[in-house]
Amino acid sequence: MNCGEGIDTRQVDELFINLDPIQAGGRLTTDAMKAVLAYGDGYSVCDNCVKPFRLDHISKPPLADFHRDLADFLQMDVARLVPGARRGFQAVAGALVSPGDPVLLTAYSHYTEFLSVEQSRGIPFEIPADESHIITPDAAAARIEEVIRTTGKTPSLMFVEQVDYQYGNLHPVAEIAKVAHQYDIPVLCNGAYTVGIMEVNGKELGADFLTGSGHKSMAAPAPSGVLATTDEWADKVFRTTGIKGDLTGRTFGIKEVEMMGCTLMGVTSVGMMASFPHVKKRVKEFDRQLQHVNTIVDALFSIDGTKIQSEYPRKHTLTRMNTIDSFDKVAKTHKKRGFFLTSALRERGITGILAGSTRVWKFNSYGVSKEQADHVARSFIEIAEAEGLTITG
Amino acid sequence: MSKRSVDAVFQGLYLLTDIRGILRDTVPDHRLSPGQKKEAEKILGKLEKQVAILKEELLA
């Protein structure tokens, strides 16, 4: 069934339990799906845009209120919608990083954080992780000292992930930010895997900037996200235009330079806004999601040779497994080779794990019900048993 | 302008979206609980009303 010429209708989440690491938290709520139906046209939020002609001032649909609610939700002072957390990184780096500036990132920083530094012509310095795959305040302090010693400059910005994309580990952002602030280094906390999933308090984290991803963790269409900051930094990162056309003399009102004016002018902002009441509620129920992921991990653990590479018990639903000594042994002789696992899961109505993976792979169980978590757990054990692996515990 | 038919189209789409939500909630077996069956029955009843409005408005 097509939804346009050559475009198949996507039915992944209607037919399967979807454990895709980057898709789980962005699955739309029914209200967001309705908003998509009503606001799919381009510039659809601009019907009632009046002076001063800026997205965060539109009251119908209630985008102005939504911006204020987002800042409150994150315990920050000011928030703007951005086309993905990455555009938040870009805006902050664009405002704070000058060519040649050292910029701190971590061993688990997203590639778009690096690209934002590159675009601003900064020089990246990574804070290493410890053997548990955690970024520690001590490692941050040591790297800051080293960077100052070797470059003679204090880094103009530090990026740190609250939960990283590689291991799904929760890092001690508040303690790391405290260290950075001792050197007057502003901190951008990347909450792409946390904002909209679990409760996030920007003030408690000590974040000068906090980014969230609508399509990754706030049940919103892509590309969408939020950049929030404090009153101290708002004027810098959300500076308004002062440019003037030399022939026409045109000026451009109060458009914000780093935002490139208005950001999400249609279905993305309304989809995000429609999901927001549900998102506010679901972050308070995150413990239940942790129970579900631990149910799945415990089942995997019972398969001899299986290891977890993320911290355990899990503090987030994004999880990295190592099945080199279990499922990968089966893959070596199986007629479907490495594809046997994802194929067997698919037969049981489960998808989202990278096809062909039997060595090190990730899954994200965010959003599953208890019944679905039990089904996933049972399925892994059934597949292992069918392939002759030993189950213990 | 038939505002009534436009409203019926959107109401119908929203009701179908609610059914889509139930399908998503119950993957992979789509085995509905008694509560979900009752909810689905209510939604489908309302959907039939919207289809009837469309027939009345557009085909009469």
Asked if B7 is an interface residue toward chain A (Cβ–Cβ < 8 A), one would say no
- Express each pLDDT in A302-350 by its tens digit: 999 999 999 999 999 999 999 999 999 999 999 999 999 999 999 999 9
Average pLDDT over residues B31-35: 98
Decide if pLDDT at A44 tops 80: yes
Point out the residue among B10, B18, B24 whose CB comes nearest to the CB of A13. Answer: B24
Single-letter code of the amino acid located at A238: F
**Torsion sign (Cα): A176, A180, A181, A187:** negative
Give how far B36 is from chain A: nearest CA, Å. Answer: 14
- Kindly report the backbone phi and psi dihedral angles of residue A188, in degrees, each rounded to the nearest multiple of 5, phi listed first: -105, 115
Q: In angstroms, what CA-CA distances link B4 with A83, A178, A344, B18? A: 36, 59, 49, 21
Token pair for A208: 């000068």
Distance from CA of B24 to the nearest CA of A (A): 5
Whether the full predicted model's pTM is greater than 0.90, yes or no, is: yes
Kindly tell me if the per-residue pLDDT of A393 is higher than 80. Answer: no
Instruction: Output the pLDDT for position A137.
Output: 98
Q: C-alpha dihedral over A97, A100, A101, A104, to 10 degrees?
A: 100
Asked whether the beta carbons of residue B20 and residue A14 sit closer than 8 angstroms, the reply is: yes
B34-52 confidence digits (pLDDT tens): 999 999 999 999 999 999 9
Distances (CA, A) of B35 to A55, A91, A126, A178, B41: 41, 47, 52, 50, 10
- Say whether pLDDT at A59 is over 90: yes
* Rounded Cα gap, residues A212 and A194, in angstroms: 7
Closest Cα to residue A331, out of A254, A387, A274?
A387
- DSSP structural state of residue B56: I
Q: Which two tokens stand for residue A135?
A: 């970024």
**ipTM here:** 0.98
Give the list of residues 6+ apart from residue B5 with CB closer than 8 angstroms, or none.
Answer: B53, B54, B57, B58
Nearest CA-CA distance, residue B12 and chain A, Å: 11
Mode of pairing for the β-strands spanning A102-106 and A78-82: unpaired
Q: Which of B14, B17, B23, B27 to mutate to test the interface with A (most CBs of A within 10 A)?
A: B27
A30/B17 touch (CB, cutoff 8 Å), yes or no: yes
Interface of A with B (CB under 8 A): 13-17, 27, 29-30, 33-34, 37-38, 348-350, 369, 372, 375
The tally of CA atoms less than 13 A away on the side-chain side of residue A141 is: 8
Interchain pair A375, B28: CB under 8 A: yes
Residues in contact with A307: Cβ distance below 8 Å, sequence separation at least 6, in sequence order? A321, A322, A323, A325
Query: Which of A346, A324, A334 has the alpha carbon at shortest distance from A16?
Result: A346
Cβ atoms of A131 and A158 within 8 Å: the answer is no
Coil, strand or helix at A59 = coil
Q: What pLDDT shows up at residue A377?
A: 98
For residue A92, the tally of other CB atoms under 10 A from its CB is: 26
Each residue's pLDDT tens digit, A379-392: 999 999 999 999 99
- Nearest chain A Cα distance for residue B29, angstroms: 8
* pLDDT at B1 exceeding the cut of 80: no
Collect all residues of chain B within an 8 Å Cβ-Cβ radius of residue A27. Answer: 24
Q: Do B21 and A37 touch (CB under 8 A)?
A: no
**B12: confidence class by pLDDT, cuts 50, 70, 90:** very high
B20/A contact by beta carbon, under 8 A: yes
Q: Does the structure show a pLDDT above 80 at A210?
A: yes
Do B17 and A34 count as a contact with CB atoms less than 8 A apart? Answer: yes
**Cβ-Cβ contacts under 8 Å, A348 against chain B:** 28
Chain B residues with CB inside 8 Å of A17's CB? 27-28
What pLDDT is stored for residue A375 in this prediction?
Answer: 98
pLDDT of the residue at B60: 86
Predicted confidence band at A79 (pLDDT cuts at 50, 70, 90)?
very high
Band (pLDDT 50/70/90 cuts) for residue A53 is very high
pLDDT interval class at A247 (50, 70, 90)? very high
| Exposed e or buried b per residue across A180-217, where buried means at least 16 C-beta atoms within 10 angstroms of its C-beta | beebebbbbbbbbbbbbbbebebeebbbbbbbbbbbbb
On chain A, the residues whose CB falls within 8 A of the CB of B10 are: 37-38
pLDDT of A25 over the 90 cut: yes
Q: Cα–Cα distance between A62 and A55 in angstroms, integer?
A: 10
Question: Residue A229 corresponds to which tokens in the numbers above?
Answer: 């900051």
CB contact under 8 A, A37 and B17: yes
Contact A37 B27 (CB under 8 A): no
